Amino acid sequence: MPSQFLLTPMVELLRPDGIVANLKASSKKQVLQELAKRAADLTGQHERAIFDVLLERERLGTTGVGRGIAIPHGKLPTLPKVCALFARLERPVDFDSIDEQPVDLICLLLAPESAGADHLKALALVSRMLRNPLFCEKLRGADTADAIYALLTHTEASNAA
């Protein structure tokens, strides 16, 4: 009997072209630069503005939340809606994480300055998803951007009934 799948709320934040399956970067700064470049292409926002917002947020405290995961985020005045970009790094990098472990899974969140609760809901959603060690192992083992997108945006309906 084939599994049924339900769309998760991530489908509203993440586009298929917002996945990077094997991002090459050797430092936290380089990761943020690459993500800013890709986010600029997806959102039409200025790359430098995205990078500056991400760096400013990192100065407040690391977004490396532990277990190889980082959730860099920021707000931009001209962004129309909350959006996400997901990257799996080719090799883990030091991200000043709270557990001092290198990071290889990154979910970038960008929100309009006026987003308020929507920004917090998106952070909570991503945090909940990436808190599951088995789910993170599936993301680490996925071969392609399409496979990662499917994992992030679909959930098995068998548990929903």
DSSP state of 3: P
How close are the terminal C-alpha atoms of the chain, in Å? 16
| Single-letter amino acid, residue 32 | L
Helix/strand/coil percent split, the chain, to 5: 45, 30, 30
By C-alpha distance, which of 116, 83, 118, 108 is closest to 31?
108
Instruction: Return d(Cα 80, Cα 72) in angstroms, integer.
Output: 19
Question: Between the CA of residue 84 and those of 5, 158, 161, what are the distances in Å?
Answer: 21, 27, 28
Pairing state between β 64-66 and 69-70 = antiparallel
Task: Output phi, psi for 49, to 5 deg.
Answer: -65, -40
Task: Based on the residue annotation, tell me whether 119 is a catalytic residue of this protein.
Answer: no
Which entry of 46, 73, 119, 154 is annotated as an active-site residue? 73
Q: Which residues are catalytic?
A: 73
